[in-house]
Structure 1
Amino acid sequence: MNRFVLLGVGALALAACSKPAPSDTDTPAPAPGTATTTPVPTPAPPATAAEPTLQPPSFDCAKAQSESEKLVCGDARLAALDRQLAALYKRVQTSPDELDIAAEQRGWVKGRDACWQAVDRHRCLVESYQTRIVELNIGSGGVSAPTPVRYQCDDASKPVSVVFYNELDPQAAVVSWGKDQAIVFPAQAASGSRYTREGVEFWEHQGEATLDFYGTTMSCKAAG
């Protein structure tokens, strides 16, 4: 099975839980001249449908112990994500790397339960579930990796690339800055394509992009 490893993201994601989310009003810095553009998939806008009817998650809420589990039990979206993850985890457990996956899952549970410390607990939990679902989908080899879009940035100390997984549920992109990676998710934008998670924001419009990677902000241009 192809393994998908997010180097450094576990610690970064937990640290970022206490940081304020990027402002929705920030816009990418314009670049002079005419830039050669590289097509970037446009994510579907976030769902605006009414909140789904509350159904129980995959575990027994009467036995919920952590604060995160209790929040999942009382939130329809989180409960739905929990059921989706449980079904996916059950499928991938039959792989040759079953022991590794089980160990990763135990680590993920600890990270999820740490969301009670976050400023925005709900966002932390949503992103925790979404991230694990994307990791398992990619790591199981069930999806083919699209061609990375590479960017030239004003901070040239590390290469920057983005892989857009717009066929997944949830849609996602994997932003790589050197050896560090982060899974980000579509967010509303006045123009272009914007992907975020707590501590990371990638915003692209007509080949020009800005990237805020856990406090490091850079302006980028799609490589020709």
Structure 2
Amino acid sequence: MKMVTPFLAALIAASACAATSLCAKSETSTVLATSFDCATASAAVEKLICRDPQLKQMDIELTRLYRLTLTDVHSVPSPDKVEIEQRFWTDARNQCAAGAEPKACTIRSYAERAHQLRQGSAIARTKDPSRLTDGPIALRCEGFNALIGATFFNVEPRVMYLKWANTAVTLIQVPNVAATRYSAKDSRGSYSFLQDGDEAFFQMPGSKQMSCTVEPTG
């Protein structure tokens, strides 16, 4: 019998959320809502979020994480600084409307901010059944010196945010019958992350496919 590794367990949790009503409940919950009123949305990005189910769920989840972080006196940075950061983040997110790919930019913005909030606050990482995020976990990939932080957004399609050193990439789940695959492309080239059973593989531009495991934390 194959052992369920921590990495596999994280993806199983993501799959369970996507496959059951848990994810759907988060959008209809009386305590969870978008960070702005869609009926009066004026910014172009807000209008995009309101008409796109994936982005709408990401906004609802980020609002949940942000509110939890504000209650965490031990968060890094402190709640008062998180509040200031959130205002700057909102302004930066709204600028996605001016780019060539506003939705892709907005997804990256939410994925990065969710990673930051979850990384800095233990309360934000609590196992709330309505959550749409997991992580971050630390990945050790064969032949790669830096640890890779990974945060998952359990929306449809799912989103995976990876960060190492001064580099970050946001990957989107793509259809694959045999395994769970995420992909992305930027100015450096193409990225691919594959999870098959209890094995995981990451490939970045200019490198061969690397086998990855979860690094123990805590």
Which runs of structure 2 are paired with 1:61-72 in the superposition (5 Å)? 61=38, 63-72=40-49
Q: What residue in structure 2 maps to residue 110 of structure 1?
A: 91
Q: What residue in structure 2 maps to residue 100 of structure 1?
A: 81
Q: What residue in structure 1 maps to residue 51 of structure 2?
A: 74
Separation of aligned partners in 1, 2:185 and 2:80 = 30
Answering whether residue 179 of structure 2 is matched by residue 202 of structure 1, we say no
Q: What whole-Å deviation, never above 9, does each CA across 1:21-49 have from its counterpart, x for those lacking one?
A: xxxxxxxxxxxxxxxxx955245299589
TM-score (norm 1): 0.56
Computed over aligned residues only, the root mean square deviation of the Cα atoms, in angstroms, reads 4.2
- In the alignment, is the contact (CA less than 8 A) between 1:184 and 1:197 conserved in 2? yes
TM-score (norm 2): 0.57
Q: What residue in structure 2 maps to residue 129 of structure 1?
A: 110
- In the alignment, is the contact (CA less than 8 A) between 1:162 and 1:174 conserved in 2? no
Provide closer, same or farther for how the CA distance between residues 204 and 68 of structure 1 changes in structure 2, counting only shifts above 3 A.
same
Provide closer, same or farther for how the CA distance between residues 128 and 220 of structure 1 changes in structure 2, counting only shifts above 3 A.
same
1:68 Cα shift? 0.5
Answering whether residue 63 of structure 2 is matched by residue 86 of structure 1, we say yes
Which of 1 and 2 has higher RCO (CA within 8 Å, sep 6+)? 1
Higher normalized helix content (fraction of residues): 2
Q: What residue in structure 2 maps to residue 152 of structure 1?
A: 142
Separation of aligned partners in 1, 2:69 and 2:140 = 31
Provide closer, same or farther for how the CA distance between residues 63 and 139 of structure 1 changes in structure 2, counting only shifts above 3 A.
same
Q: What residue in structure 2 maps to residue 24 of structure 1?
A: none
Q: Which has the larger radius of gyration?
A: 1
Separation of aligned partners in 1, 2:200 and 2:58 = 33
Unaligned runs of 5+ in 1: 1-37
Unaligned runs of 5+ in 2: 127-134, 214-218
1:107 Cα shift? 2.7
The count of corresponding residues between Structure 1 and Structure 2 is: 178
Moved over 6 A (4+): 144-147
State which drifts further: 189-198 or 108-117: 189-198
